[in-house]
Structure 1
């Protein structure tokens, strides 16, 4: 097996990750002899519940501030009898005085799930927390509430990057977070494939994630680490926007060089087609839109048979680690002509003309592609193609040695390109907003084309960050951050070559 352990850091990250887990749960099959195309062992772990029954829960650690979990409890129907998480009396033998905050009332959606009844339709008004539309049980060790800060606090908001650094350092010194929270899940794996991190990048969670990344790299030096770095796309006052920009610059400087891929995600994206119906004020809706692209583009990593998704992201040189996330919702006619369909998740390497630059939604950058943008690497994943169409396709192209392909691409200055196709459509669950996409029958699922692209636009964005950092960041760290961003930017400028490229020659 090739397992993936997930870390969720912060409120916006948990909104997105909850959609991700709901989708993974929907791929389970319960009919005898029916096998899901998704290998659930990649993201789920077997266990034993409090009553001795077998359980299957996500390999994830969920961090949030006090008040951020809503109605989600650490104990649940699977583990509520467990004594492992009962703190007990301890050394104190005196009288205890227990003070409790008023319990948050459970949503009608959660009540219906608990009762096994049809769930009511969710709306932006009925979703108060990410746990309101959660469909899974988690292992008690997955729930980690950080009581040092409170969600949406006005007196001490969790916004400054340094606050996240300080919080991690204090907690790690006291508990050794890696040993307490991650190691158990990692050691259960037969062959740990990657660590996946959902995190906010433009507030204090960016600092928390950066220090967590340092510890993960020390412990799992050769493992892949995937980072989904979520940035707020809402408009705020100028001084708040400056703080966000500084936090984003620090996150890219500290996290992206240590990650296997780092994908900035604007939540919500700034441009959407008029045919999309999204409430930008609802994190439930905007994170659902993001999940349609994010879950699609990573689908090959958990499909049967095993796909070496990581080598596609590494490209020819492994230098470009910052990717742009884009997606297009396909109609039936567009799906038939956009890509060559295959049955299953079979990779294909085609001519550079297959590289796509126009998508319905760009989740990473505000600027559109220009003719001057150069693409270094692109991985496309399309889903929802009818597998029966494969019979009408021509014979497969002649396979060429991968080393020869690489030399041809370098000689012709062509981008690295790889595509994956699967007939598995993106399901519209009852936890997902209805009527978000322009499709005739949402119950049948939707066809999505999603991509991760490394291009010269990243260099342009980091150049703008350098300018902000040189003016605003304090002098004691300004030089290191500006120089570090400059080194990252250079690798996304066309015509730049690393020392390894010369060595290859």
Structure 2
């Protein structure tokens, strides 16, 4: 078995991760004759509830600030029906005055789930917290509220990168977060495959994540670490944007060298095609769009049989770790019809002479603004086609040795390329914005999702170097700028003119 443990760090991360877990729950089959294409043991753990019944809950740890969990309780119906509300007398023997915050009312959607009734339609107005559209029960160890800071506080905003570092150091000194939160899930695994992190990179969670990954890499040195780094794409005042840019530069410098996969994700993307209807002001909407691509591109990691997803990401030499997330919604037609009968994934490697190759243009570019993609050099690309049958002319196995093909591509300086096919279409759940995708049939859509390592990353990091050189404090400026320069060089091709380095 090849399990994956997930960490969710912060509000934006939890919005996207909740969509992810709802999708995993939808793949369960309850008919013994129908075996799901998804191996649920990868992301879920067996356990025993308070009444002795068997449970199956996600292998995840959810961190968020005070007031961010909405109506989600640490102890739920699987483990304890009620929490002990008696605070106790303590050492004070005088008169007590207990002040309580107003209780958050449960959403109609959650009430319907608890009562086993058909769920009402959700909207941007009815979704107040990410827990409002959550469909799963979590183990009590999965819920970790950080009481030092409060969600959306104006007095102590959780925005500065260094604040996240300090918070992690304080908590880790007091509790040893790996021992308390991660190790119990990791030790339940037969063969831990990877640690997956949802986080934001342009606020204090970036600093929190950087320190967390330092500890993870020390403890699990050879395990894959995948980071989905979400950053705000909406317009903000200039001073706030400079702070965001500085935080992103620090996150790239500190996190990407330690990660096996680092994917920056703009929330929301700057360009949305006309066939997608998005409410850019709603995190529920924007995170749903992100999850359609992120969950699709990682689908091979949890399908039967096992597939070596990490080897595809490593490419020719394993030096490119920063990937762009892209996707295209594929319309239904006669030539590419959903395949519901195939019970395995077809995995093909592109070869020369008319065979498939890396693709530069996609409908949605989640990592960058989409400009310059046609002229960039692609080092490595991993594609996942879900719900569509790949034509034989494009997808037929070449019959050649996979290692030999990769070596030829390396010596010819052509892009490394790997393609997976999954017959499982992307389901439109009742927890998902119903009208987002035009032309969705039978509550399903077909998606092409990709992870791409290209020279566009060098252009973006060059901009970060300029920002860091202007606004980061003197004591760390040289270290960050030089570190970003070393990362940038891995994504440059050919010789660069001297003028390209005159940034200071």
Same fold, TM exceeding 0.5? yes
Q: Deviations over 1:435-480 (max 9, x none)?
A: 1112142x34100000000000000000000010011100100011
Relative to structure 1, the CA distance from residue 262 to residue 67 in structure 2 (aligned partners, 3 Å threshold; closer, same or farther) is same
Relative to structure 1, the CA distance from residue 283 to residue 394 in structure 2 (aligned partners, 3 Å threshold; closer, same or farther) is closer
Residue of structure 2 equivalent to 1:103 = 103
Residue of structure 1 equivalent to 2:127 = 127
Q: Deviations over 1:103-143 (max 9, x none)?
A: 10000000000000000000000000000000000000000
1:360-371 mapped onto 2 (5 Å cutoff) = 360-371=363-374
1:380-459 mapped onto 2 (5 Å cutoff) = 380-386=383-389, 396-441=396-441, 443-459=442-458
| Range with bigger deviation, 447-456 or 352-361 | 352-361
1:135-150 mapped onto 2 (5 Å cutoff) = 135-150=135-150
| Range with bigger deviation, 407-416 or 241-250 | 407-416
Report the Cα distance in structure 2 between the residues aligned to 1:120 and 1:395, rounded to whole angstroms.
Answer: 42
Q: CA deviation at 1:393?
A: 6.8
Report the Cα distance in structure 2 between the residues aligned to 1:214 and 1:467, rounded to whole angstroms.
Answer: 26
Relative to structure 1, the CA distance from residue 360 to residue 69 in structure 2 (aligned partners, 3 Å threshold; closer, same or farther) is same
| Larger relative helix fraction | 1
**What are structure 1's unaligned runs of at least 5 residues?**
497-505
Residue of structure 2 equivalent to 1:494 = 493
SS of 2:385's partner is strand
Report the Cα distance in structure 1 between the residues aligned to 2:335 and 2:321, rounded to whole angstroms.
Answer: 29
Q: CA deviation at 1:412?
A: 1.6
TM value normalised by structure 2? 0.93
Q: CA deviation at 1:98?
A: 4.4
Residue of structure 1 equivalent to 2:112 = 112
1:294-309 mapped onto 2 (5 Å cutoff) = 294-309=294-309
Residue of structure 2 equivalent to 1:287 = 287
Residue of structure 2 equivalent to 1:357 = 360
SS of 1:354's partner is coil
Residue of structure 1 equivalent to 2:484 = 485
Relative to structure 1, the CA distance from residue 5 to residue 156 in structure 2 (aligned partners, 3 Å threshold; closer, same or farther) is same
Residue of structure 2 equivalent to 1:18 = 18
Q: Confirm or deny that 1:377 pairs with 2:376.
A: no
Residue of structure 1 equivalent to 2:196 = 196
Report the Cα distance in structure 2 between the residues aligned to 1:15 and 1:316, rounded to whole angstroms.
Answer: 34
Q: CA deviation at 1:97?
A: 5.8
SS of 1:351's partner is coil
Contact 2:326–2:367 (8 Å) recurs in 1: yes
Q: CA deviation at 1:90?
A: 10
TM value normalised by structure 1? 0.93
Q: CA deviation at 1:355?
A: 1.1
| Range with bigger deviation, 328-337 or 265-274 | 328-337
> Aligned-residue CA RMSD in angstroms?
2.3
Q: CA deviation at 1:279?
A: 0.3
Residue of structure 2 equivalent to 1:235 = 235
Contact 2:337–2:387 (8 Å) recurs in 1: no
Report the Cα distance in structure 2 between the residues aligned to 1:190 and 1:77, rounded to whole angstroms.
Answer: 28
Contact 1:380–1:449 (8 Å) recurs in 2: yes
Contact 1:46–1:54 (8 Å) recurs in 2: yes
Contact 2:338–2:425 (8 Å) recurs in 1: no
Q: CA deviation at 1:345?
A: 1.8
Residue of structure 1 equivalent to 2:255 = 255
Report the Cα distance in structure 1 between the residues aligned to 2:422 and 2:329, rounded to whole angstroms.
Answer: 15
Relative to structure 1, the CA distance from residue 405 to residue 160 in structure 2 (aligned partners, 3 Å threshold; closer, same or farther) is same
SS of 1:258's partner is coil
Residue of structure 2 equivalent to 1:74 = 74
Contact 1:55–1:78 (8 Å) recurs in 2: yes
Q: CA deviation at 1:357?
A: 1.0
Contact 1:335–1:447 (8 Å) recurs in 2: no
Q: CA deviation at 1:100?
A: 2.3
Report the Cα distance in structure 1 between the residues aligned to 2:444 and 2:405, rounded to whole angstroms.
Answer: 36
SS of 2:179's partner is helix
Relative to structure 1, the CA distance from residue 51 to residue 355 in structure 2 (aligned partners, 3 Å threshold; closer, same or farther) is same
Contact 2:231–2:267 (8 Å) recurs in 1: yes
Report the Cα distance in structure 1 between the residues aligned to 2:492 and 2:401, rounded to whole angstroms.
Answer: 28
Relative to structure 1, the CA distance from residue 343 to residue 335 in structure 2 (aligned partners, 3 Å threshold; closer, same or farther) is farther
SS of 1:453's partner is strand
Question: How many pairs were matched up?
Answer: 490
Report the Cα distance in structure 2 between the residues aligned to 1:420 and 1:440, rounded to whole angstroms.
Answer: 22
Q: Deviations over 1:337-365 (max 9, x none)?
A: 999x9752221101375211111100000
Contact 2:338–2:387 (8 Å) recurs in 1: no
SS of 2:37's partner is coil
Q: Deviations over 1:163-184 (max 9, x none)?
A: 0000000000001011111000
Relative to structure 1, the CA distance from residue 208 to residue 87 in structure 2 (aligned partners, 3 Å threshold; closer, same or farther) is farther
Contact 2:361–2:373 (8 Å) recurs in 1: no
Contact 1:342–1:421 (8 Å) recurs in 2: no
Q: Confirm or deny that 1:164 pairs with 2:164.
A: yes
**What are structure 2's unaligned runs of at least 5 residues?**
496-504
